[in-house]
Amino acid sequence: MPNMLSNILGNIFARPATRAYPAVRRPPFSGARGHIVFDTKSCGFCGACSRRCPSAAIVINRTDKTLTFDPFRCIICEACVEVCPRKSIAVDSQYRAPAYVKTVEVHTLPAPPEEAPRAAG
């Protein structure tokens, strides 16, 4: 035990190596893979991300122009980010909080601005 004695004595007076997690949070690294965000304004609903996704987390309906994303299936591998031809998918470095209920995200094409009603005739 004498080899560890200085270590043990040092640890009695040192600060803890861990942090008080929910109260003190370490900011994520800049390239951290936190979660996937979609920008449907520029999305062409081509389905490249859906075909490449290894965990089948993205389902695209080309006729309805909807993208259904299951964040609880997603493994944040960035494969979809790499294949997206319009760069509509990005990775945010913030981690998502755990949840009790598993939900899916449905992204649709944003509604076009309403046109002024034409005069009849």
Partner 1 sequence: MSARTVIPFGPQHPVLPEPVQLRLTLEEERVVEAIPAIGYVHRGIEKAAELNEWVQNVFLVERICGICSFLHALCYCQGIETLLGVEPPPRARYLRVVWGELHRLHSHHLWLGLLADSFGFESLFMQFWRNREMIMDLLEMTAGNRVIVSTCTVGGTRRDIAQEQASEILRTLDKVQNELDKLLPVISNDYTVRSRTVGKGVLPKDKAIRLGAVGPVLRASGVAQDVRMIGYAAYGELGFTPVVEQAGDAHARLLVRMKETYQAIDLIRQALAHMPEGEIITRVRGNPRGRTISRVEQPRGEVVYYLAGNGTRNLERLRVRTPTFANVPALVQMLPGCELADVPVLVLSIDPCISCTER
Among 46, 59, 91, 109, binds partner 1 (CB under 8 A): 91
Q: Is 12 in the site for partner 1 (CB under 8 A)?
A: no
- For residue 107, give both structure tokens: 């992204």
Q: Write the single-letter amino acid at 34.
A: G
Percent composition of the chain: helix, strand, coil (DSSP 3-state, to 5): 20, 15, 65
18 vs 103, which CB is nearer to partner 1? Answer: 18
Give the Cα separation of 79 and 76 in Å (integer).
Answer: 8
Q: Write the single-letter amino acid at 3.
A: N
User: x/- site string to partner 1, residues 25 to 64, per CB under 8 A?
Assistant: ----x-xxx------------------xxxx---------
3 vs 63, which CB is nearer to partner 1? Answer: 3
Q: Is 77 in the site for partner 1 (CB under 8 A)?
A: yes
Size of the site for partner 1 (CB under 8 A): 23
Q: What backbone torsions phi and psi does residue 66 show, to the nearest 5 degrees?
A: -125, 150
Name the nearest CA neighbour of 88 among 30, 56, 57, 45.
Answer: 45
Q: Is 24 in the site for partner 1 (CB under 8 A)?
A: no
List of residues contacting partner 1 (CB under 8 A) = 1, 3-4, 7-8, 11, 17, 29, 31-33, 52-55, 75-79, 82, 91, 93
